[in-house]
């Protein structure tokens, strides 16, 4: 089922990943679904160029989040999606990056499924893939990294701690989302679990956007680098970050 074939009695929700920042990285399907939407429920990091694709008649609902501040609680966002779909609307839930990678997309769809609301998922380019590509940092490389891991920079308040020993491995690339505030803790834990303090790392600020900046150094200096950067930013740990100067193109 697609948004264009939803019933007149009940609407439909399209969970759309808008990509990491550059509006040209929106998928063709994402573009089409946004244009057909009656309601767009969107997050803070979605660009104005992508929002402008929506119809002038579409209802635009902002539900953006910042660290430690959610203008609309998650439960209320879930309820908005349910209510708008029950009004017979084609709803686009628009998130930065990819909705299933640290975007709470799965949580929102669980609510829709429980309420009997039909939905689809339109994947987006996640920040780790987009920002590193624009920074000239390949996530994997035969001479540097045979694996890559995406890690959230903060855990739930009731707390499951990251399994740091599984991260502190050679020939591996680590990408931390939302990690600036926890950069000191990240450094301490990786080094304590065996990763060399001289391991190269980088912070990519505003990845894929015109104002993108890249900060480089050793793992031991990560917290100092983080003080120079502002959100949104990704932390990348691994020797692939050394390729930035050779492969940067943006």
Tens of pLDDT along the chain (250 residues) come to 444 444 457 899 999 999 999 999 999 999 999 999 999 999 999 999 999 999 999 999 999 876 655 578 999 999 999 999 999 999 999 999 999 999 999 999 999 999 999 999 999 999 999 999 999 999 999 999 999 999 998 755 556 778 999 999 989 999 999 999 999 999 999 999 999 999 999 999 999 999 999 999 999 999 999 999 999 999 999 999 999 999 999 9
CB under 8 A, 24+ apart: contacts of 142-145? 144/171, 144/173, 144/238, 144/239, 144/240, 144/242, 144/243, 145/171, 145/172, 145/173, 145/238, 145/239, 145/240
**3 vs 103: CA distance, rounded Å:** 21
pLDDT at 160: 72
**130 vs 97: CA distance, rounded Å:** 8
| Vertex 29: Cα angle to 25 and 34 (nearest 5) | 90
Helix (H) or strand (E) holding 122: strand 119-122
pLDDT at 244: 98
Assign 4 to helix, strand or coil: helix
Which residues are part of the catalytic machinery?
A: 43, 65
| Vertex 21: Cα angle to 19 and 24 (nearest 5) | 70
Residues of the chain within CATH 3.30.950.10 domain(s) are 128-247
pLDDT at 7: 44
Please give the class, per CATH, of domain 3-125.
Answer: alpha beta
In order of 47, 121, 178, 182, 196, the CA distances from 86 in angstroms are 28, 19, 34, 40, 54
CB contact at 8 A, 175 and 195? no
pLDDT at 69: 54
Please give the class, per CATH, of domain 128-247.
Answer: alpha beta
pLDDT at 154: 74
| Vertex 199: Cα angle to 203 and 137 (nearest 5) | 45
pLDDT at 66: 65
Residues near 100 by beta carbon (within 8 Å), at least 6 away in sequence: 17, 106, 121, 123
**69 vs 99: CA distance, rounded Å:** 19
Bridge partners of 69?
66
């Amino acid at each position: 089922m697609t948004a264009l074939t939803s019933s007149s009695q009940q609407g439909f929700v399209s969970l759309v990943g808008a990509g990491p920042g550059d509006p040209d990285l929106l998928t063709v399907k994402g573009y089409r679904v946004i244009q057909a939407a009656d309601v767009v429920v969107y997050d803070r990091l979605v660009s104005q160029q992508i929002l402008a694709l929506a119809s002038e008649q579409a209802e635009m609902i902002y539900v953006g989040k910042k660290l430690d501040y959610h203008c609309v609680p998650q439960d209320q966002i879930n309820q908005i999606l349910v209510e708008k779909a029950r009004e017979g609307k084609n709803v686009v839930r628009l998130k930065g990056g990819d909705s299933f990678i640290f975007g709470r997309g799965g949580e929102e769809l669980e609510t829709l499924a429980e309420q009997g609301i039909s939905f689809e998922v339109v994947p987006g380019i996640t920040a780790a893939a987009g920002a590193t590509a624009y920074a000239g940092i390949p996530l994997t490389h035969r001479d540097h990294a045979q694996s890559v891991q995406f890690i959230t920079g903060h855990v739930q308040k009731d707390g499951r701690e990251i399994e740091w020993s599984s991260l502190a491995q050679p020939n591996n690339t680590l990408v931390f989302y939302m990690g600036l505030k926890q950069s000191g803790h990240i450094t301490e834990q990786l080094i304590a679990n065996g990763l060399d303090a001289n391991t190269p790392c980088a912070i990519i600020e505003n990845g894929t956007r015109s104002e993108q900046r890249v900060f480089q150094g050793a793992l031991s200096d990560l917290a100092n680098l983080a003080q120079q950067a502002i959100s949104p930013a990704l932390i990348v740990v691994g020797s692939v970050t050394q390729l930035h100067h050779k492969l940067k193109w943006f």
